[in-house]
Chain A
Amino acid sequence: MTDKKTDEQLIAEFQGGQEQAFVKLVDRYKDRLINFVYRFLNDMTDAEDLVQETFLKVYKNKHAYREIAKFSTWIYTIAGNLARSELRKRKRRKTFTMSQLSFDDNEFTPVDPGKDTEGIVFNTYAGEEIMKAIKELAEPFKTIIILRDIQELSYEDISTILDIPMGTVKSRVNRARLKLQETLSYLRE
């Protein structure tokens, strides 16, 4: 039996106390969100943990959702914020580790960019290569490529999720694609 209820109907039911509606939303969104977060973190275990955390936030803060926004953009915003803050944490940890290394051992050990792309076997070399290139992108470009070109969300939804004007979304998509193309050429050299 297929459930024709909209996301907004389900969250309203959950807000009204029907927990079964929450489970339906989890089933609808878990894979989409894992695909989204995985492209940020390049690690399946971390991606699953972060998506679990996203749903826990939805569960605990269900009344924070207002019907003026689409449920999808709301949950993407939560997951996106968590993913970006995790990336920032990693960056700080990496900086700390490197400064310690150079101090203790007088040695600089760069991190292999492809090192933690584990947990998934790519069908093609191209897939692996493009993931490496995405990883090299600055955070705003990475976010926009994932949302637009991997998740294939509309400009309007991206504008809501990132809270930036639609014109900015479009120009950022263009710049991000050019940047990604440049990174790919650089990696191929």
Chain B
Amino acid sequence: MQNNECIYISEQFTKYQDNSLSSEIRARIDAHLTVCSPCHQLYQDLNKMLDQLHKLPPVSSNQDFTSNLLHHIKAINQEPFWYKIYASSYTRIAGSAIAAGLIVALGMNIWIDPISPRSPQGQRNFSGEQKAQTHPTEAITSQLDSLQGSGADTLELNNSTINSKGSSLQLVSGTK
């Protein structure tokens, strides 16, 4: 870059290529490019580079892409509700931590006082959580039952190797 004018010119290159500059600025760039060889060279290099970018060979998906995706969706829909909770990585980490905590707590409990429960409050909380977990499962099961009846949710694959005609994909998302 030669001077401030060169910097200014290089900042306008994209708009210059897009033809979105005023005629005065365009004329100023045209004039500069005829006298400044580094800027002229840079502009040519940029054009070559853009040409290369446009000609990058496209990549395409594996031919099993759609069928793999649909299998994945089907598998998720068939997982029991508790597994969906477990499968999310954050829940898994939290679950492991809670499980480890429970084991330690249980060990301590047995070691300190093998007979009487130390915290009846904690037990009540635990059973309360269990109850809260069974509730959405029931809701989703009943939703899936109602969905299975409607033909609109049956999924047919056009050009994939698996034939899922007749097998229905069920919706996970219950929010409408």
Contact = CB atoms under 8 A, between A and B. Distances in A.
B168 to A, nearest CB: 8
A120 B57 contact: yes
A152 B55 CA distance: 11
A55 B13 CA distance: 37
| B interface, size bucket | 35 or more
A149 B72 contact: no
Nearest to A146: B53
Contacts of A51: 61, 65
A34 interface: yes
| A interface, size bucket | 35 or more
B10 A18 contact: no
A56 interface: yes
Contact of B158 (A23, A124, A177): A23
A59 B73 contact: yes
A166 to B, nearest CB: 11
A145 B45 CA distance: 16
B108 interface: no
Between B10, B53, B58, the greatest number of chain A beta carbons within 10 A of the residue's beta carbon is seen for B53
A31 B58 CA distance: 9
28 contacts: A17-B152, A17-B153, A18-B152, A19-B154, A19-B155, A20-B156, A23-B158, A27-B159, A30-B66, A31-B59, A31-B60, A34-B65, A35-B58, A35-B60, A39-B56, A48-B62, A51-B61, A52-B68, A120-B57, A127-B56, A150-B54, A170-B14, A174-B15, A177-B50, A178-B10, A178-B46, A181-B46, A181-B49
Interface of A: 16-20, 23, 26-27, 30-31, 34-35, 38-39, 44, 47-48, 51-52, 55-56, 59-63, 120, 122-124, 126-127, 130-131, 145, 149-150, 152, 170-171, 173-174, 177-178, 180-181, 184-185
